[in-house]
Homo-oligomer: A and B are copies of this chain.
Amino acid sequence: MPKITQQQKEAIRMEILNSARHVFIEKGYEATSMSDIVTSSSRSFGGVYLYYSGKEDVFLDLLRREYENMAPDFGLEEQGSAWNAFVQFIRGQEKRVREANAGLAPCLYEYFIVGRREDHRRKLIEERSQAVYGTLFDLIHNGVQRGEFHPAQPLDIFVHWLISLLEGLYIESIINGFENIQLAQQFELLLTVCRSILRPSGLEGNL
């Protein structure tokens, strides 16, 4: 039997992941079974189990790759100012919230909320939370160090608060649909409030 190269293995993985992604989005994490994943791929049970030990294994590989592709879509240097970089980050979030129901986000919430007591899921939750907190804190803290932000509130609290608000916008969009909750206007209000808290140089303004 001819040996399969690493490249070929990776191509097969990608095929399995692509079809599994559609199944997860269509059915949701809990309602999807390994059998659904196998059926959606053009492979046999054994052919899929060569690569993945089960549904959770497939899902976690999908998440890993989605996050790798999600390089921060902002950079202080390219954006000219800390405030521009912040706005860029928030606009990226708005886009992701708007597209939440077409992607894996609802599955991720299922995975986290349903499995909130399982140790290995808790670990993933904590890592993700810390990564998000760190990214956002650094972005804002850089602006403070450059003398561009003059926060009216403690930075750590503000960052936690901003994360809660973004989570809420995700959840509300997933549950009620982004059209029903006036998402665009909510993001405008969010930016107005953030500006009045961060007080970027030259842009101080009331609500």
Contacts and interface: CB of A to CB of B under 8 A. Distances in A.
Interface of A: 28-31, 106, 109-110, 112-114, 116-117, 125-126, 129, 152-154, 156-158, 160-161, 163-169, 171-172, 174-176, 180-182, 185-186, 188-190, 192-193, 196-197, 206-207
B106 A110 contact: no
Contacts of A158: 189
A157 B197 contact: no
Identical chains in the assembly: 2
Contact of A172 (B31, B117, B152, B163): B163
A164 B185 contact: no
A157 to B, nearest CB: 4
Given A28-B116, A156-B182, A157-B185, 4 more contacts: A152-B207, A153-B192, A171-B171, A196-B207
